[in-house]
A and B are shown apart, each in its own frame.
Chain A
């Protein structure tokens, strides 16, 4: 941000709505905890910054209904601490440490939802998109609205929650969120395999994916020419014990430490980190191309600090998101139709929010148009 940047730090939902109304059309960076402060907009293009860090209340916690309400600036650490005494947790995560502070807990829930980073437990129904059951938001034109609700099952109204998760805040500002929670199982254990060679490790990971009942998380972690498997199990003691015997892997952490511990090692990436996803069946071909350092989650989402040269093989999608860098989460859709809809959404909802995101979409669409015109 430049020195001219106007910083607004609302202390209530009403103040936040008013602030967005006053900023209509002004290129605005939205930040919650600030851990992603350099993402979403280039410093030079920001004229205003909406800082939601003072919206830091947990507005409701209903343990019996497995749900809670939180404002955007609540940190993940605060949320975890509030849930732990009730034996509750957010199924998604654990998210990589904040790129700016290195602290895991400093990330805000608003930032995490807007960014939707890949994480070991975030697959199937554990994806963040399934955890957000309701929101209250204000769009870039200053119009507030809600979507979803407080109950875990609800199909009333269009699912605008889905548009927020992973959007980088490009369409509207999420002010308060309703979240689905889970009751933690009786026993949680993090197992680590012995080191494998690349081929052997991939084969083992694929075999476990095929034969082992769906675990809470299962990461394949690469360190240059070797790899290991991290396996998070949860359930009754008898069940967890049987799975430990079945895999032969060594228990490393138990309980809360295990729940939060998977993904911690090797998450300290430096330099350019690529995120993306690949089909498990195509992984082997890709990994032939050279030494790697990174981690692939159960369903194929990954974070790497080195992607082999050249284009990835078919079936592997790379989002060139740089942790700690300046690019926004995700890429514009490759499909021209989806890109057109994304632009309509940006025009209809986004206003001046996250201007680089707008130019990102606009430039991609312009490129496509020129290509079409040329052809």
Chain B
């Protein structure tokens, strides 16, 4: 016997587009953040914006939290259901490119369209969608929008927020909002990165960029992490803007080279630095000697470079496969996402290593060096409660360190469940109160993706009433 909520849901979408059985729902119980799991109450598969609106209204009527989900690749628990059983809105059936203009360089897409698929669709006209999170083969534009996703190439091209021109979404009142950069206050910028706590996007207008004429990738290996970081600082300051500046440390190199992702990185190096130049052929070739000079100033063990597509893929293979290769170290991995000023990369990494040692956790680093976005990877065995606890403690200590060094707790993964308590490292009660008031303008009943983002406990208004239902109206 179905209850009222279930009956209404069936009336809205029919039995083919609602998952009830436990096995199906279990598939949605977590995302790329391995620590927390909660099974949703039901999974709905809408095909239109109107259906999404009807689902939000139903959630409001029935007092059920609602959570949109793209591909579930989020690393901070943003797409993990809240503890209170929720209605999960699976957007896989809304993955169309609705319209686009090559000359005006925009595309209007549905939220479930996979990031890389958009570039494939517009590629024949010499365009692509620039934000490239490592998950871009699977992650969706809607998910990227919610988390303000970054990626290796955002050093030059910016984050997702720099590529969103307009969003149509259903807010926490169940009403449509069309936010446009050219129309009134910047609601687009507010919505981007709000982690699903303001509503659910139904259509997204994105900027398309011209595909670079030439791409050249350099691999420089160094005898110390400090040398690699100093080389990055030299390049950042010289006026050339590489498309990417990525560093892998020794432990990562060893894991990669022992795996199917082996890229031929020198095993005797303490760090390898990947530099990528892209743009017009004349510009790339003109900038290349200068980049080599700067790399050589820090006495590398070796430098290689290539414009050949296959060879470039090889050089990137290790970087792209690094997280997969970590599986050789321990069954689970906890990927941190702190940011520090680039001038403090080397000194911070020394401290990070000490924290890992103190907690007895295997710790490796692969990170976006150009913008100081660290990804310390804490390898642990989730079946061992003590080791899991130590990994979590080390993670929090590292995030605190990043903030004390003048940085941030998140560069691109978002807050979600993972970092909600760490928000207090950066923000005090007044800041959190401002965030709470901002959220209330979009979602006064906190029906959208609750239990995330805001820290629990303490004096924070939002935090105290973070559980949906404790307080219905702000």
Contact = CB atoms under 8 A, between A and B. Distances in A.
B148 interface: yes
A149 interface: yes
A224 B235 CA distance: 45
A277 interface: yes
B407 A151 contact: yes
Interface stretch (B54-62, B185-193, B358-366, B376-384): B185-193
Contacts of B233: 64
B431 A157 contact: yes
A156 B407 CA distance: 10
B103 A280 contact: yes
A151 B162 contact: no
Interface stretch (A36-44, A50-58, A181-189): A181-189
Given A125-B158, A213-B280, A151 B339 contact: yes
A158 B162 contact: no
Nearest to B207: A124
A330 B101 contact: no
Interface in A143-196: 143-147, 149-163, 165-167, 170-171, 182-186
B340 A151 contact: yes
A273 B373 CA distance: 43
Contacts of B409: 156
B466 to A, nearest CB: 15
B300 interface: no
Interface in B165-184: 171, 175-180, 182-184
B342 interface: yes
B70 interface: no
A279 B101 CA distance: 10
Contacts of B441: 341, 344-345, 348
B237 interface: yes
A206 interface: yes
B454 to A, nearest CB: 10
Given A155-B412, A155-B414, A235-B283, A334 B183 contact: yes
Interface string B98-123: 00010110000000000000000000
- Assign chain A's interface to a size class: 35 or more
Contact of A333 (B180, B340, B412, B419): B180
A339 B427 CA distance: 29
Contact of B371 (A62, A125, A152, A341): A152
Contacts of A147: 431, 434
A239 B186 CA distance: 36
Specify the main secondary structure of chain B where it touches its partner.
mixed
Contacts of A264: none
B264 interface: no
Contacts of B451: none
A158 B185 contact: no
B437 interface: yes
Given A124-B162, A145-B434, A151-B406, A333 B185 contact: yes
B23 interface: no
B445 to A, nearest CB: 13
A374 interface: no
A166 B282 CA distance: 37
B103 A317 contact: no
Contacts of A242: 282, 286
A268 to B, nearest CB: 26
A150 to B, nearest CB: 5
B157 interface: yes
A149 B426 contact: yes
Nearest to A212: B280
B216 interface: no
Given A156-B410, A348-B438, 20 more contacts: A62-B343, A125-B157, A125-B162, A151-B340, A151-B341, A151-B372, A155-B414, A156-B415, A156-B426, A158-B193, A158-B439, A160-B435, A167-B186, A239-B282, A330-B185, A334-B184, A341-B177, A345-B441, A348-B441, A349-B434
16 contacts: A64-B237, A130-B162, A145-B431, A151-B372, A151-B406, A154-B339, A157-B426, A158-B435, A159-B193, A160-B434, A162-B190, A183-B239, A214-B210, A239-B287, A242-B282, A277-B182
Q: What 9 A-B pairs are tightest by C-beta distance, nearest first? A: A162-B189, A333-B184, A337-B177, A145-B434, A238-B286, A344-B441, A335-B178, A65-B341, A153-B371
Interface of B: 101, 103-104, 147-148, 150, 154, 157-159, 161-162, 171, 175-180, 182-190, 192-194, 207, 209-210, 213, 233, 236-241, 279-280, 282-283, 285-287, 290, 339-343, 368, 371-373, 406-415, 419, 423, 426-427, 430-431, 433-435, 437-442
